[in-house]
């Protein structure tokens, strides 16, 4: 065996060992693709054998700026060398500028920093309920929050309690009361569900985990009008769709809609650490008083420094505009594939879902085959392949990803239909 072959064998064994350790000592709450990554740069990821992969998922939009962007790494390291965590017991020189930038780019009055997207949504729920009792004068304990069917806002027990996905709820009850679901994209159903006790409607402008589901044109504007007429808070969950992902700073900007409350996360941390926020108009946020809500790590100097650098980078490099232009190109190239295994291509900006006909293959199998072609992404619900690369991706790299998908689909043509649903990666 040559030296190179021995080195490759050792690397392969190390990767297998890493997967075995994870399986042996970790909870089995994920089913990752069988690849062990150890480095990222820009739009690329690298495994332990040194193989390079084009990242077409960007950690569910958390890595919108690419892996280890120099400006963000510099902000992180410089701040880490000065001051990282103090808790909110004290003021810091980083939090104010970060909150000011957040409010400026979103048009909201105030921001409350947290860590994960789920925490931002939990904060929104608390704010909506207190506003309902103190401002709208809903009787104590009777506030109702409406959500959309197919929603995904996180994994806390409150949030999974209002999910319509059976697996997310199974075994985790009892759940908090006070929530009701309406069909996504149906403004008339929303209006019919509103009562005098309705505090808010929480909605994703595009549903990500549900399969990149885009509502009918005019839906968000209709929701805005309905909420205004009924004195109900419109809260947009833009943890995945915000910060340039769909071709605008916020996905609700496509319809010129300004919500009463807004949740952000994922890309806000620059792909380096968890940063999130709930933003709202003045009378909503002013319901919080000292001691009502908090987080030891929320708004820490390190997170604030990175978040501020991420917002500055987003504007300086005009990444929302790039997402729109490159998203249009990606959508057009995908539709040109015109393969019968593709049931639909849908999305906005660089948040696109390719729905796969399950009689040809599962979306998981397509993702495994793409991995073999040097492209990494993940399916949702076994039927949709997500394509949401870092916003810094170039057109040539998009073309590489589409060409890889074309090869994967072409491989389906040589397999009997009965076998296609099992795997295209073998």
* Residues annotated as catalytic (active site), given as ranges: 152, 237, 266
**Edge-to-edge strand list for the sheet holding 52-55:** 37-41, 44-47, 52-55, 375-376
Contact 129, 199 (CB under 8 A): yes
How, if at all, do strands 198-203 and 44-47 pair?
unpaired
Nearest residue to 363 (alpha-carbon basis) of 349, 377, 375: 377
CA distance 151 to 160: 9
Contact 285, 83 (CB under 8 A): no
Can you name the residues that pair with 379 across neighbouring β-strands? 385
**Edge-to-edge strand list for the sheet holding 233-237:** 110-114, 276-280, 261-264, 233-237, 198-203, 144-148, 179-182
Q: Torsion over CA of 254, 257, 260 and 266, rounded to 10 degrees?
A: 0
Contact 180, 321 (CB under 8 A): no
What would the two tokens of residue 174 be?
A: 């009892």
CA distance 145 to 375: 40
Contact 343, 202 (CB under 8 A): no
Report cis status (omega within 30 of 0) of the bond before 174: yes
Contact 234, 258 (CB under 8 A): no
CA distance 243 to 61: 9
- Give the end-to-end CA distance of the chain in Å, rounded to a whole number: 26
φ, ψ of residue 277 in degrees (nearest 5): -160, 150
Can you name the residues that pair with 113 across neighbouring β-strands? 277
Contacts by residues 317-322 (CB-CB < 8 Å, ≥ 24 positions apart): 317/392, 319/64, 319/65, 319/244, 319/391, 319/392, 320/244, 320/247, 320/248, 320/249, 320/349, 320/391, 321/247, 322/244, 322/391, 322/392
């Amino acid at each position: 065996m040559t030296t190179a072959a021995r080195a490759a064998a050792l690397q392969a064994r190390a990767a297998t060992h890493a997967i075995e350790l994870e399986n042996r000592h970790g909870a089995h709450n994920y089913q990752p693709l069988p690849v062990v990554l150890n480095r990222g740069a820009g739009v690329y990821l690298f495994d332990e054998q040194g193989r390079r992969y084009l990242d077409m998922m960007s950690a569910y939009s958390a890595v919108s700026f690419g892996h280890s962007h120099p400006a963000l790494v510099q902000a992180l390291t410089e701040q880490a060398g000065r001051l990282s965590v103090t808790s909110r017991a004290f003021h810091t020189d980083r939090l104010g500028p970060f909150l000011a930038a957040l409010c400026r780019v979103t048009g909201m009055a105030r921001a409350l920093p947290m860590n994960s997207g789920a925490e931002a949504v939990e904060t929104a729920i608390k704010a909506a309920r207190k506003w309902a009792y103190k401002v709208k004068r809903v009787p104590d304990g009777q506030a109702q929050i409406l959500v959309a069917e197919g929603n995904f806002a996180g994994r806390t027990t409150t949030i999974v309690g209002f999910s319509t996905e059976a697996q997310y709820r199974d075994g985790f009850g009892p759940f908090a009361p006070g929530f009701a679901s309406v069909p996504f994209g149906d403004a008339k159903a929303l209006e019919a569900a509103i009562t005098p006790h309705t505090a808010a409607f929480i909605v994703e402008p595009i549903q990500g985990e549900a399969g990149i589901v885009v509502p009918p044109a005019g839906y968000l504007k209709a929701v805005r009008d309905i909420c205004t007429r009924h004195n109900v808070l419109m809260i947009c969950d833009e943890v995945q769709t915000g910060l340039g992902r769909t071709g605008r700073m916020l996905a609700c900007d496509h319809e010129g809609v300004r919500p009463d409350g807004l949740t952000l996360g994922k890309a806000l941390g620059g792909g380096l650490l968890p940063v999130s926020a709930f933003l709202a108009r003045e009378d909503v946020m002013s319901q919080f008083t000292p001691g009502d809500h908090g987080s030891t790590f929320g708004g820490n100097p390190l997170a604030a420094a990175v978040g501020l650098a991420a917002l500055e980078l987003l504007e300086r490099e005009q990444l929302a505009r790039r997402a729109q232009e490159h998203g249009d190109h990606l959508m057009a190239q995908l539709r040109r594939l015109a393969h019968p295994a593709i049931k639909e291509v849908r999305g906005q900006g660089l948040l696109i879902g390719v729905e796969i006909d399950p009689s040809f293959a599962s979306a998981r199998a397509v993702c495994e085959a793409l991995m073999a072609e040097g492209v990494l992404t993940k399916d949702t619900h076994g039927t949709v392949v997500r394509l949401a690369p870092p916003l810094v991706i170039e057109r040539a790299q998009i073309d590489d990803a589409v060409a890889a998908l074309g090869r994967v689909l072409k491989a389906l043509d040589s397999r009997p239909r009965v076998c296609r649903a099992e795997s295209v990666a073998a």
